[in-house]
Amino acid sequence: MASITIRRPDDWHLHLRDGDIMRAVLPYTAAVFGRAIVMPNLIPPVTTKETAIAYRNRILKALPPGHRFEPLMTYYLTDATDDDDLREGFEEGVFAAAKLYPAGATTNSESGVTSVERIYPILETMQKLGMPLLVHGEVVDSDVDVFDREAVFIDRVLDPLRKDLPDLRIVFEHVTTAEAVDYVQANSEGLGATITPHHLVINRNSMFRGGLRPHMYCLPVAKRENHRLALRAAATSADHRFFLGTDSAPHPSRDKESDCGCAGIFNAPTAMSCLAQIFDEENALGCLEAFTSLNGARFYGLPVNDDTVTLTKAAEPIANPDPVSIADDEIRVFAPMAPNYWVVEVDDEAQLVNDAGLTSRSATSV
């Protein structure tokens, strides 16, 4: 297949950051995706209705002219979350979901929840409201190996939580293990999972290929090859419980390449081209629309996008992306260490997106 047109995709897990970084990276998401669940782990985090409204307004103000993009805001849960504020924010449409970060699990999670039991009253409110809970599925106990944190989270936290609150709608975010895939597939309608493009491409060896590669370091960390293959099978299956969350997470190169480098992979410019390549390799292009454009909207009870994107397979590998410039630094863009042949065109906005960035082109000329 040389070309495929699908409904415009959504990104159900996205880090936009704030300030100069947000203004630099936002155009790459807004050019392709209709909506995105925006993560709240800023400094300080988005822990009130007012801060969410202010953050949303900053995002909308930074949108380039002509881009139609809807940021969906999330509430950063803490041990001291205000029940009334959360409920009012959800009922008024400020929040699409609330995010559970185990304290210390990832970037800017220090204010996160120290114990899930501490927020059971909040989770009970969310269950009554039908408000989705988004979980960073890792335990942070020092006695648990970093490669086992997700599997242990299922046993210690997620499964007991679902038994205690069976009607709570939960998204198991950026799953990275065969155990997580099996758990989601064995459970009911109230549980979904996002999968990132980079976890479909890299395994833990990728961080050490030819030397230490900090731009392949993310949390949850990439796992063994058998886990990557399990993720690919789930993503390309059209199972409605799995949907795209890029977990695109920009950091300046100096912060990635320091003696204590940050976790996060910035993949917004390459996410859809990478996915087309993956689904092509798996002979599953017919399932791409379900994963990127349908399943997430179904879970959140939202309509699918009316407009479309067209993915076209080039005769030669497309160029690797240039870094995104910010002030006196740059943000490296995720580029798989393998040929990629797919370019992405947003039909209604006449914008072509490829691994070299954004260029203008007529939608009818591809």
Active centre residues (catalytic): 247
- Tokens representing residue 275 in the block: 């996915």
- Tokens representing residue 143 in the block: 């006695």
- In the block, tokens 């800017």 appear at 108
Q: Where are the alpha helices (DSSP H) in the chain?
A: 19-30, 49-62, 83-91, 120-129, 149-153, 159-164, 178-185, 225-235, 253-256, 271-281, 288-289, 295-300
Beta strand pairing status for 191-195 and 324-326?
unpaired
Could you give the angle at the alpha carbon of 33 between the alpha carbons of 168 and 363, nearest 5°? 150
- Residue 21 CB-density burial (10 A; 0-12 exposed, 13-18 middle, 19+ buried): buried
Could you give the angle at the alpha carbon of 294 between the alpha carbons of 290 and 297, nearest 5°? 150
What lies within 8 Å, CB to CB, of 261 at 6+ separation is: 214, 217, 255
Residues 29 and 53: beta-carbon distance below 8 Å? no
Q: How far apart are the first and last CA of the chain?
A: 14
- Helix H, strand E, coil C: the string for 114-180 is CCHHHHHHHHHHHHHHCCCEEEECCCCCCCCCHHHHHHHHHHHHHHHHHHHCCCCCEEEECCCCHHH
What lies within 8 Å, CB to CB, of 75 at 6+ separation is: 40, 46, 47, 52, 81, 86, 89, 90, 95, 97, 98, 99
Closest CA to 74 of 157, 12, 140: 12
